[in-house]
Each structure stands twice: as C-alpha cells, then as structure tokens.
Chains A and B, each alone.
Chain A
Amino acid sequence: MSGGPTLETLVDQQISVITNDGRNIVGILKGFDQATNIILDESHERVFSTKEGVQQLVLGLYIIRGDNISIVGEVDEDLDTSLDWSNLRAHPLKPVIH
C-alpha cells in the first residue's frame, strides 16, 4: 500500500501547475509543503488564447500559495518539446468557482 499523494517524486522535475484563476505555470519543482505551497524555478507562464498561439512569459523563481493551486502535473519532457505550442490555440481555462 503506497502512502498518500505527495509531490516528493516530482522534485527537480518539470511540472505544470494550473492555478485557481486558470493560469498555467510551468517550471522545475524545488520545494513544497503540507499546504501544497510550492517553489518553482525557471518558471514561465503559458498564455492560451484563441487569437494567437501560446505565448510563454518568463517568470523566473516563483512561490505559489497552495490555496491558489488546482493541479500539479508531471510534464513528460520529450512529449512537451515535441508539441508545437506556438501554433496551438485554445480558450484560457476558466477560474475555479468554489
């Protein structure tokens, strides 16, 4: 029987975070705590729009408060680099409504 879900296995890996306000931030997980507060290094935001392809905004070192996190996804880096994000159009994600 494995333990509960933890972010331990994702440390030093590239992760994709979806925040409650619908933003998508990609970076390297450096740390986390019980409340899912996380530290991201070399992070950038992927801005989705229907008018143009995905824009990448460089953010650098970021701390995201756990309250504001919806999903932490493990990025498959080979798959990620093979995708043509700059030509991908989509609506931004909706914010979380509690």
Chain B
Amino acid sequence: MLFFSYFKELVGREVTVELKNDLAIRGTLHSVDQYLNIKLENTRVVDQEKYPHMMSVRNCFIRGSVVRYVQLPPEGVDVELLHDATRREARGG
C-alpha cells in the first residue's frame, strides 16, 4: 500500500517507465492503482528510432506486472519521508 500511496502523490508529474521488454516510455503520470498499473498522458517512447511501434499513441495504460523501473523527478522524492515510511511498514505499521 505504501508505494501505491507514494505514486498517487506523483500524479501530474513527468516520469519515465521502463518495461520488462526494454521499452522506455516517458509521459505525465495520470493515475495509478493498487496493482501499480499506470496511466500516462502525452507519452513518447524514449528511443523512437528503435521502437516506432507506438508512434500513433499519445496516452497509454501500462500493466503493473510489466514495469521494471519508474524514473521519478528528483524534486518529487522526499527521501527522508520515504525512509521513515518504509521503516514503519517493515515494523508492521
């Protein structure tokens, strides 16, 4: 639940999602759910030359199960807060 809440805080920011098929997509985070499915708006594929498959796609839904990384904007990350929250979670609330 922690990362779900965390990603909800990042809605509206620009992120890059790297998938488990090596495709990386950049876009504005529109929404996220409990499975960490992600919806991005104004998307563009990072290496369009190599991956022209999504050229006509501007908004997309990414299944949480295929996400490898989400690159976050540095200003959207409060490391101290995240540290505290993960420690609390590890202790069981």
Contact = CB atoms under 8 A, between A and B. Distances in A.
Interface of A: 1-5, 7, 10, 16, 18, 20, 22, 24, 36, 46, 48, 66-67, 69-77, 79-80, 83, 88, 90-91, 93-98
Chain B residues touching A, majority SS: mixed
A70 B21 contact: yes
Given A1-B11, A71-B19, A71-B66, 14 more contacts: A2-B31, A4-B32, A18-B21, A69-B63, A70-B63, A71-B23, A73-B54, A73-B57, A73-B59, A76-B56, A79-B55, A94-B21, A98-B20, A98-B65
Interface of A is mostly: loop
Interface of B: 11, 19-23, 25, 30-34, 37-39, 43, 50-63, 65-66
